A and B are shown apart, each in its own frame.
Chain A
Amino acid sequence: MIRPSYAVQLARTKLRSKRGVLITSIIVASLLFAALIATVIVFAGAEKSAQEFIKKAGSDRYLVKATPNIPYDKLTFSGTLSLEDIRTIKAFEAQYYQALRDKYKALGLEYNEKSEVSALQPASWLPESLPDEQRVMVNRTSPVIPAIENHKFEEYARTATNKLGDLKETGNKYGASGYYLVDKSSLLPPIPGLRLIQNGKEDFGDSDLKSTDPTPYGYYTNAIHNGTYNFTDQKLLGRYLLTTDDKDLKGIPVVVSAQEAASLFGKKVDIGKEPEATSEKRTWLKNIQTKLNGQTYQVCYRNSAEQALLQKIQRDYAGMRNNENNGNYQKPNLIYDYPVRACGDIAVKDDSRTVVEKQADREAEEIQKKLGTYVAPQHRLLTFQIVGIKYAQPYTNYSKGINEYIKSLLSSQDDLSSLDIPIQMYDSLPDTLKFDDIEQNSTTLPRQRDDNFASRVLEFATVDDARAFLDNETCPSSETHCNKKFLADPYGSNYLILDEIGKLFNRIASIIFPAALSLAAIIIWFTVSRIMAENRKETAIYRAMGAKRRDVTCIYIVYILLIALRIVLISLVLGIAAAFAIDYLYGKTLADTTAVLFGIVDDAPAFSLFNLGSPLLLVIIGLIFLISTIASIQPLIRNVLRPPIHDIRDE
C-alpha cells in the first residue's frame, strides 16, 4: 500500500484543486464548529466561575426548597361554582348563622338577621343556559366564605399526607437533612402597615407605591416597603449575613435589600442611589455593607383596631378639609387625633356624641366583648437591626444579552421581595424585643400558621440525590397540574444551580449540536463529492499508473483528514477568539454583577467566561474528524469503485 508520506503528498496537491469551493466550505463548516466551541468555552467558564463564587459564598450545598402541593382549587371557591359547591355553601351558611343565633341567644343578646351577609350573590354574567340555582358567585365580604374555606382546609389537614413528617419521611429516603424553615410568614404586615419612624416621627403617609413602574422593578427596588417580614433559617442566609453575633442585638435581626437600606439611611451615612453602571455597584454595595451593618430602625406595629382608627382619622380630616366652606357639613361626632408621640396612644380629639350615642357605642362594645370579637387598640414599638444586606435584583430583561441572562441564572432562585429574619438570632432575643405577643391577623389562613405546611429547605449530600428527589417526588413549582405531594425547586445560588446551568447547556446543546453537525456534514459531503467528481480523471490516471483501489482510498482518506484538520484549526482559532471576545466584553461586568449578587465585595473571584478545560472540546474535535469521514464515505466509495476506463475514455 502507498506509504503515508506519499499519501499526504498527493492529498495535499488535491487541496489545491477547486480551491475556492474548498476554502468556502472549510470556512462555513469551521464557523459552525467555532460556534459550538465558543459555546462550550463560555459555558465551561460560566460554570467554573459560578462554582467559585458559590464556594466563596459558602453556598456549596445541594439545597431544594419543597412546599406541600395543596389542592387549593378544591379547598377554595373560585370561578363558576358547581351545584355541589353551591349546596355545600348553603348548608354551611345555614349552620353558621344558626350557630351565631344560638350564641346570641345564649348570651341573652338580641340577634339582628339583617346583619347577615349572604355567602352567595347573583352572577348575571354567567350563561343563561345554566340553571338559576347555579348562576351565583361567592360573596367574599361574607364571614361564611373564610369560615367554610378554613373549615375545608382543617378537614384536609387532618388527612393530608404532605405534612412535615411526610416530607421528612420522603426526603430521608434520599439522605436529605436540614428541613430548614424558609419564608415563614411572620404575621407582621409590610410597611406602610408597619409605620416607619424617622427622625422621631411616625410616618402616617398613605400606602401608595413609591414607583409607578408597572414592572416588578417598582416593587423590588423598594422591597422593604412592599415585602413581608419572613422567618428564615439562619443557615440559609449565610451569604447575606454580615454578622451572626446575637449577644448585643438591639433589635429584631433582619436582612434587608441594599436598595431599601440606601433609601432608609442613605442621607444619614452619605450613600447615594444605586448606580447605573455595573462597575460602580460593587463599591456602592461595599459601602452599604460597611456603613449599615448594625444600623437600627424603628417601626410602630398597630393592630387592626388601631389601623381602623388611623383610617378614620385620615377619612375625617379629609372630609373636614374638603368641606371647610360648606355650611351644611356636619362634623363627625367623635374625632380622634394622630398620636402626639411616635408609636403613642391614639387619643380622642373631640367627642360631641350625645349621651344616648355614647350609651349605644358602649353597648355595642359590650356585645363584641361577649361574643369574643372585640379587639382592643394595641400598638408596639419594634426595633429592627440590620444584620445582613442582600442585593434586590431589579427587573431582568433576558433579551438584553448574556449579562442579564447569566444574572438571571445566578439570582432567580431567591425571593428578593421578602425581608428575612434569621430564626436562630431572633430566638435569642429578650422577649421585650420580640413580637410574639402581637395580635394574630384574623385573615391569616390556618395553613400560614401551621409549620406542618410551611416551605422547607432540604439539604442533600450529592447532586444526584437532590436531582432524584426533585424528579421522583416533586413537581416544579411552575407546574400547574401536579399529582405529586410536593412542589420543589433548587434553592438559592447553590451547587444545584450549577446542575441547572448544566441542564440548560444540555438543552441548548441538544438543539445546536445536531443542527451544526448535520449542516457541517452536508457541506462537507457536498464539497467532497464535488471535488472527487472533479478528480475522477486524476484517479483514473493513478489507476493507469498501477494504483490499487486501496491506494486511492488511502489518498482520499488522508485528503479528508487534511480537510478536517484545517476545519479543526480554523474553528479552534475562531471559537477561542469568539469566546475570548465574549469574555472580554462581558467578563468584567459579570464579575461585578456576580460579586454584587453574591454580596462578596472583597476578594471576589474573577468571573471568566473563558475556560478551555471542558472535555467537550476534545469531543468536538473528534466529531469534526468523524463527521468529515462519515460525510465522505459515500462519494469515496463511488469514486473508488468506478472503473478507471470510464474516466479515461471520456477523453
Chain B
Amino acid sequence: MVGMKDIPDGKIEEFLSLFDGDASAAHAALVRYKQRRQELASTSSPLRAHPTGEEIVSLQGVSKRYKLGKQTVNALRDITLSINKGEFVAITGASGSGKSTLLQIIGCLDKPTSGKVRVGSKETTNLSDRALSELRQSTVGFIFQSFYLQPFLRLGDNLTVPAMFTNKNKKDIDSKVQRLLQQVGLSERARHFPKELSGGQIQRAAIARALINDPRIILADEPTGNLDSANGQSIIDLFKRIRNELGTTIVVVTHDLAIARQADRVIELKDGAIV
C-alpha cells in the first residue's frame, strides 16, 4: 500500500504544498505514480533506450537550475534517460515543463547543473566551449520553431551555412545542398529568398540545413508549431523518412500529441521531471 511514509522525512510538507495541503489528492497522485512506475518496469520504458539499439544519448541524474530574477527555477530534476541510434523520440509536456531545456542539454548548447550527459561517445559535462562547438558541428542538427533561415541569403546558400563552419570542400557542400534540396522537394527554389517561400517549405529547408553536416542526431524544437496540420504532418513524414533512410536519431520537442504518438517513444515531462 502506498502511503506518506514513502516520502522522505522533511519533504512531506513540501509535497503536500503542491496539492494545497489536500492530503487525499496527494495520496491519489502518489498511487498513480507508483502504478505508472510498475507499468513502465514491465513494458518498454521511456527512460531506457531500446535494449537492442546502440545508445547515442545518455543522461544520468541530470538537473538544471537557473536564476530568473530572484527566483531559482528548477528546469530539470534528476533526469535519467537514454536514446538509441535511429530512434524517433518525442518529448512532450506542458509549457514550462523543461522540454526545450532538455533538448538544449542534449544538443550541448547548455550544461546541466548536476548529472552527466553523454552525446555520441563523448561525455559533455566537462568539455570546453570549442569542443562543444565541434561536437555540435559533427553530431547534432538543430531545427527551430521559427526556422531561423537567413533572410538575405538564397535558399541554397542558407543550407550551406552550417557547413561553412567545417573544413568541407565547397564543391562537396554544393552537391550536398543540391541533393538535400531534391530530397526535401525544393530543388526549384534554390535561388529563392526565404520570404518567397511558404511556412512548410521554409521548415523543410530548415530540416535540409540541419542535415548538411550529416548529423547523427536531429534535435527539433516544436518543428510544426508554426505550421498547419497538413504541413505539420508532412514534416513528421519527412523526419520518419530521414530516420528510415539515414538512420538518423530524431528528437522532437512537441506539445502536439498527434505528432508525439507517431514517435517510437514519448517522453513526457512535468515540472522538469519525467512522468
Query: Measuring CB to CB, which residues of chain A are less than 8 angstroms from any residue of chain B?
Result: 2-3, 6, 9-10, 12-13, 16-17, 537-538, 541-549, 551, 643-645, 648-649, 651
- Contact B165 A548, beta carbon cutoff 8 Å: yes
- Contact A546 B165, beta carbon cutoff 8 Å: yes
Inter-chain contacts of A649 with B (CB < 8 A):
100-101, 104, 110
Residue in A2, A17, A645 whose beta carbon sits within 8 Å of that of B164 in the complex = A2
- Contact B213 A546, beta carbon cutoff 8 Å: yes
1/0 contact string of B88-111 vs chain A (CB within 8 Å): 000000000000110010010110
| Contact of A548 with B133 at beta-carbon distance under 8 Å, contacts A16-B152, A542-B165, A644-B109 already known | yes
Inter-chain contacts of A645 with B (CB < 8 A):
104, 109-110
In addition to A545-B136, A546-B138, A549-B130, 14 A-B residue pairs with Cβ atoms within 8 Å of each other are A13-B152, A17-B152, A544-B136, A546-B133, A547-B133, A547-B165, A548-B130, A645-B110, A648-B109, A649-B100, A649-B101, A649-B104, A649-B110, A651-B145
Closest residue on chain B to residue A540 by CB atoms: B109
- Contact A546 B162, beta carbon cutoff 8 Å: yes
- Contact B162 A545, beta carbon cutoff 8 Å: yes
User: How far apart are A549's CB and chain B's nearest CB, in angstroms?
Assistant: 6
- Contact A545 B109, beta carbon cutoff 8 Å: no
| Contact of A541 with B213 at beta-carbon distance under 8 Å, contacts A546-B137, A546-B165, A644-B109 already known | no
Within 8 A of A (CB), among B203-257: 213
- Contact A13 B144, beta carbon cutoff 8 Å: no
Inter-chain contacts of B138 with A (CB < 8 A):
546
- Contact B161 A543, beta carbon cutoff 8 Å: no
Inter-chain contacts of A545 with B (CB < 8 A):
136-137, 142, 161-162, 165
User: How far apart are B96's CB and chain A's nearest CB, in angstroms?
Assistant: 12
A548–B146 CA distance with the chains assembled, in angstroms: 23
Within 8 A of A (CB), among B100-151: 100-101, 104, 107, 109-110, 129-130, 133-134, 136-138, 140, 142, 144-146, 148, 150-151
Inter-chain contacts of B164 with A (CB < 8 A):
2-3, 6, 9-10, 551
Residue in B130, B133, B157 whose beta carbon sits within 8 Å of that of A9 in the complex = B157
- Contact A541 B148, beta carbon cutoff 8 Å: yes
A551–B164 CA distance with the chains assembled, in angstroms: 9
Residue in B100, B107, B134, B165 whose beta carbon sits within 8 Å of that of A2 in the complex = B165
B166 within 8 A of A: yes
> Could you jot down 27 A-B contacts, CB within 8 Å?
A2-B164, A9-B157, A10-B161, A13-B151, A16-B151, A16-B152, A537-B148, A538-B148, A538-B150, A541-B142, A542-B165, A545-B136, A545-B137, A545-B142, A545-B161, A546-B133, A546-B136, A546-B166, A546-B213, A645-B109, A648-B104, A648-B109, A649-B104, A649-B110, A651-B100, A651-B144, A651-B145
Inter-chain contacts of B259 with A (CB < 8 A):
none
Inter-chain contacts of A643 with B (CB < 8 A):
110
Inter-chain contacts of A543 with B (CB < 8 A):
109, 133, 136
A549–B160 CA distance with the chains assembled, in angstroms: 19
Provide the main secondary structure of the chain A interface: helix
Residue in A537, A546, A648 whose beta carbon sits within 8 Å of that of B134 in the complex = A546
- Contact A544 B107, beta carbon cutoff 8 Å: yes
Inter-chain contacts of B165 with A (CB < 8 A):
2, 542, 545-548, 551
User: How far apart are A211's CB and chain B's nearest CB, in angstroms?
Assistant: 71
Inter-chain contacts of A537 with B (CB < 8 A):
148
A12–B153 CA distance with the chains assembled, in angstroms: 10
1/0 contact string of B144-182 vs chain A (CB within 8 Å): 111010111100010011101110000000000000000
A648–B166 CA distance with the chains assembled, in angstroms: 22
- Contact A651 B146, beta carbon cutoff 8 Å: yes
Inter-chain contacts of B146 with A (CB < 8 A):
651
- Contact A544 B134, beta carbon cutoff 8 Å: no
User: How far apart are A9's CB and chain B's nearest CB, in angstroms?
Assistant: 7
| Contact of A13 with B166 at beta-carbon distance under 8 Å, contacts A546-B138, A548-B133, A645-B109 already known | no
User: How far apart are A594's CB and chain B's nearest CB, in angstroms?
Assistant: 54
Residue in A12, A541, A551 whose beta carbon sits within 8 Å of that of B144 in the complex = A541
User: How far apart are B92's CB and chain A's nearest CB, in angstroms?
Assistant: 18
Closest residue on chain A to residue B75 by CB atoms: A649
User: How far apart are B99's CB and chain A's nearest CB, in angstroms?
Assistant: 12
A334–B150 CA distance with the chains assembled, in angstroms: 112
- Among A2, A545, A547, the one with the most B-chain Cβ atoms within 10 Å of its Cβ is A545
User: How far apart are B95's CB and chain A's nearest CB, in angstroms?
Assistant: 12
A98–B140 CA distance with the chains assembled, in angstroms: 119
- Among B109, B145, B153, the one with the most A-chain Cβ atoms within 10 Å of its Cβ is B109
Closest residue on chain B to residue A7 by CB atoms: B164
User: How far apart are A193's CB and chain B's nearest CB, in angstroms?
Assistant: 85
User: How far apart are B255's CB and chain A's nearest CB, in angstroms?
Assistant: 15
A548–B162 CA distance with the chains assembled, in angstroms: 11
Closest residue on chain A to residue B164 by CB atoms: A6
User: How far apart are B204's CB and chain A's nearest CB, in angstroms?
Assistant: 17
A649–B165 CA distance with the chains assembled, in angstroms: 23
Inter-chain contacts of B133 with A (CB < 8 A):
543, 546-549
A651–B253 CA distance with the chains assembled, in angstroms: 14
Residue in B100, B129, B137, B144 whose beta carbon sits within 8 Å of that of A549 in the complex = B129
Inter-chain contacts of A648 with B (CB < 8 A):
104, 109
Inter-chain contacts of A10 with B (CB < 8 A):
150, 161, 164
A545–B133 CA distance with the chains assembled, in angstroms: 8
User: How far apart are A174's CB and chain B's nearest CB, in angstroms?
Assistant: 64
Closest residue on chain A to residue B135 by CB atoms: A546
Inter-chain contacts of B161 with A (CB < 8 A):
10, 542, 545
Inter-chain contacts of A549 with B (CB < 8 A):
129-130, 133
